[in-house]
Structure 1
Amino acid sequence: MKKTWTMFGAAMAAATCGSAWAGVDLSVLDASMAGPRAQVLVLGSVHLSGMEKDAGAMEPLLERLAAFKPDVITIENIAGEGCDLLARYPDVYPPDNIAPYCTDNSAARQATGLDVPAATAAANKALAQWPAQPTPAQRRHLAALFIAAGDPSSAVVQWLQLPQAEQHAGDGLDDALVAILVKRGARNTASDRVAARLAARLGLQRVYPIDDHTGDNVTVADEEAYGAAIQKAWEAGRPKAKAIREREQALQKSGDMLALYRYINRPEVLRIAIDADFGAAMRDPSPQHYGQLYVAGWETRNLRMVSNIRAAFRERPGARVLSVVGSSHKPWFDDLLARMQGIDVVDVGRVLGDR
């Protein structure tokens, strides 16, 4: 059984200090650390689902990201464990709200006989014993486990590393799961078209879903009034962002995806976009302070997402981490990750050749 050191550390702090560490400058805690520092690159992404699927359009971006050589890649999906938790509290998290974020695992459960907890444990065990040269049968089996565990993007990572002749049913994959993999592998999303394909190219075994919607489940008495207030704030902020949105749309139409990703990740562009959304919400004058509730939910979500990123490489000092996430998250991710010990946040502009 793994040892949990959290309570031990808290007890030691209480014994030595007797009070909270108010005013401690944590930014210097790792100044004389031993061992390698983790390098974390946050790539802000657009929503690709409504864009044309040009097979070669992503290649220049993928080449830049591959040169960074990440050994951990995280994606903006909810892990099967998280979806399993949400499903157990339908009165807290309405099923209609979580349906867009969580996959139906019934076909995988029928094929493997495993529910999400059992499949997650089996996938972790398989990865712990993973050979340097896995057989096609092992990859098919792990892909089936990932689907059953609610992590289909990691299943795609395995599927893409199979020779075409080995992309067939067997070893836990039935025809229904093969159909899921084929459909998922063709999806035009950042998780599958960028992260999963990059992971497969680099010979990684999985990606790490880090999204979390438990924190932004804002409870309000009048949902219609809340929605109207936030919409009004967005309308107020829209003129400020008009120029950058038009430029973004023009780059999308051009098909130059590297130029698009360079643009949306520029600090000055992000600054305008964030102010037009969350800054505008903070200026909401409603008596109920709906804008503040909206931003509180957003920040809670980002805190939980970043904690999931940290967990993805907590046992890997010196890891090279790529986090692919919607661009609105990037300023929060960069800020929060930069506060953590032994971590350097990498300048995405330099990686993409925009500096």
Structure 2
Amino acid sequence: MELLPGDVVQGYQLEGGLYAGLQVGGSPAALRLEAGARKHRTWSRAEAEALALHPDTAPAERVLAWLVALEPANALLTWTPDLQLPPDLAAGLQEYTDHKGEIQRLAVPLARQLGQTRLHHFDDFTTNAALQERLKVLPELWEDEAFMAGIHSSPAMTEGDEHLQRANAAGDYWAYLKYANGPRWIADSETLEVGSYLGRSLPGGEHRTQVADWNARNIFMAARLRHITALFPGGRVLALVGAAHKGPLEAVLSAIAPDLRLVELSELEGG
């Protein structure tokens, strides 16, 4: 999943600096829920993860353990509204699960249905803090009305919204997922993510710095994903990421992992 692993969230917090205020990769929710859980349990993060994975751990303790381990998405595999938890944590988990992104809408229900004991996180922002310090002009670009209008009018945005609305109206989320994994939208998403910056010439080459950060992030994510496949040799791994990541991740994995077969979503039709 496109979330930061718990040990990475903890590592970024220990690093401090720009990482201390990281607002991506699920870090804010993980830290917020971890702070609430630590009012009730004093495990280290590693102890909490081990307890969460132990088959004899009671459901309420498993939920608390995943929260302390900084992986609230895994807590949702066990949590239900009727589970006896401290009221503040129950409210926090309800708010977290009410956010209907692909984690809550797809990853958690599918993992539950398949009887999985955990979801593996493989997002990464290792280079982000160092490179963000070099980006002085880019934040101004994000406030430029013409630039943002171009973003919102791009095919990746407009056609994607249209397909999602039609799928929601028809109650056919699978149709949307097939479209969102198709070559056309993947290419449009990559063009939006990279072309929007390379089409500009910013002082100090900041447009190139931004794209380099994007490239590096995808390479790190591919490495984490490749490591996860080592846990399931000869098995299946379903990766859940934003559309713009799909092309870069597949390119890296194709280059470094000749034993992997990358399966298109269309191949799973009826499977």
Indicate the TM-score class for this superposition, using the shorter chain for normalisation: 0.7 to 0.9
Change over 3 Å in CA distance of 1:155–1:96 after alignment to 2:
closer
CA contact (8 A) 2:127 2:217 kept: yes
> What pairs with 1:231-270 in structure 2 (closer than 5 Å)?
235=147, 238=150, 242-254=154-166, 255=168, 256-270=172-186
The answer as to 2:238 corresponding to 1:317 is no
**Greater CA drift, 94-103 or 303-312:** 94-103
Shift of 1:80: 1.6
- 1:322 alignment partner, SS class: coil
Structure-1 residue corresponding to 2:63: 143
Specify the alignment match of 1:117 in structure 2: 46
1:107 aligns with 2:51: no
- In the TM superposition, residue 177 of structure 1 has moved relative to its aligned partner by 3.0
Note the aligned Cα RMSD (angstroms). Answer: 2.9
CA distance, structure 2, for counterparts of residue 186 and residue 237 of structure 1: 30
Q: CA deviation at 1:120?
A: 2.4
C-alpha distance in 1 between matches for 2:151 and 2:44: 49
Could you tell me which residue of structure 2 aligns to residue 7 of structure 1?
none
**Aligned partner of residue 157 in structure 1, secondary structure:** coil
Structure 2 length-normalised TM: 0.83
- Deviation above 4 Å: which 4+ runs of structure 1? 96-99, 229-232
Residues in 2 aligned to 1:344 and 1:237: alpha-carbon distance in whole angstroms? 39
2:246 aligned with 1:330, yes or no? yes
**How do residues 183-222 of structure 1 correspond to structure 2 at under 5 angstroms?**
183-217=95-129, 218-221=131-134
In 1: Cα distance, 2:35 partner to 2:117 partner: 24
Deviation string, structure 1 residues 18-47 (Cα, Å, up to 9, x no partner): xxxxxxxxxxxxxxxxxxxxxxxxxxxxxx
Give, as a single letter, the amino acid of the residue that structure 1 aligns with 2:201.
Answer: P
The question of whether the paired residues in 2 share the 8 Å contact of 1:240 and 1:272 is answered with no
Give % identity. Answer: 20
TM-score normalised according to structure 1 size: 0.65
CA displacement at 1:279 relative to structure 2:
2.4
Question: Corresponding residue for 1:279?
Answer: 195
> Match of 2:15, SS?
coil
* Structure 1 residues 81 and 243, CA gap change in structure 2 (3 angstroms): closer
Alignment of 1:1-355 (within 5 A): 75-95=1-21, 97=23, 100=28, 102-104=30-32, 105-124=34-53, 126=54, 130=55, 138-159=58-79, 167-169=82-84, 173-217=85-129, 218-221=131-134, 223=136, 225-229=137-141, 235=147, 238=150, 242-254=154-166, 255=168, 256-339=172-255, 340-352=257-269
Q: Say which SS state the counterpart of residue 289 (structure 1) adopts.
A: helix
Change (3 A) 1:315 1:329: same
Higher helix proportion: 2
**What amino acid is the match of 2:59?**
R
**Deviation of the 1:174 alpha carbon:** 3.2
The separation in 2 between residues aligned to 1:240 and 1:183, in whole angstroms, is: 28
User: Number of residue pairs matched?
Assistant: 261
> Structure 2 stretches of 5 or more lacking a match?
none
SS at match of 2:227: helix
Q: Secondary structure at the match of 1:285?
A: coil
C-alpha deviation, 1:311, in angstroms: 2.0
Query: Aligned with 1:81: secondary structure?
Result: helix
Quote the residue 1:57 is aligned against: none
Cα distance in 2 for partners of 1:243, 1:348 equals 21
| SS of alignment partner, residue 293 of structure 1 | helix
Pair 258,241 (structure 1): closer, same or farther in 2 beyond 3 Å? farther
Deviation (angstroms), 1:208: 1.0
Q: Which has the larger radius of gyration?
A: 1
- 1:338 shift after superposition: 1.9
Cα drift, residue 222 of structure 1: 5.5
CA distance in structure 2 between the aligned counterparts of 1:112 and 1:94, rounded to whole angstroms: 23
1:352 to 1:248, Cα distance in 2 relative to 1, 3 A: farther
- The structure-2 alpha-carbon separation of the partners of 1:113 and 1:94, relative to structure 1 and needing over 3 Å to count, comes to closer
Measure the CA separation in 1 of the matches of 2:97 and 2:59: 15
Q: Specify which structure has the higher proportion of strand.
A: 1
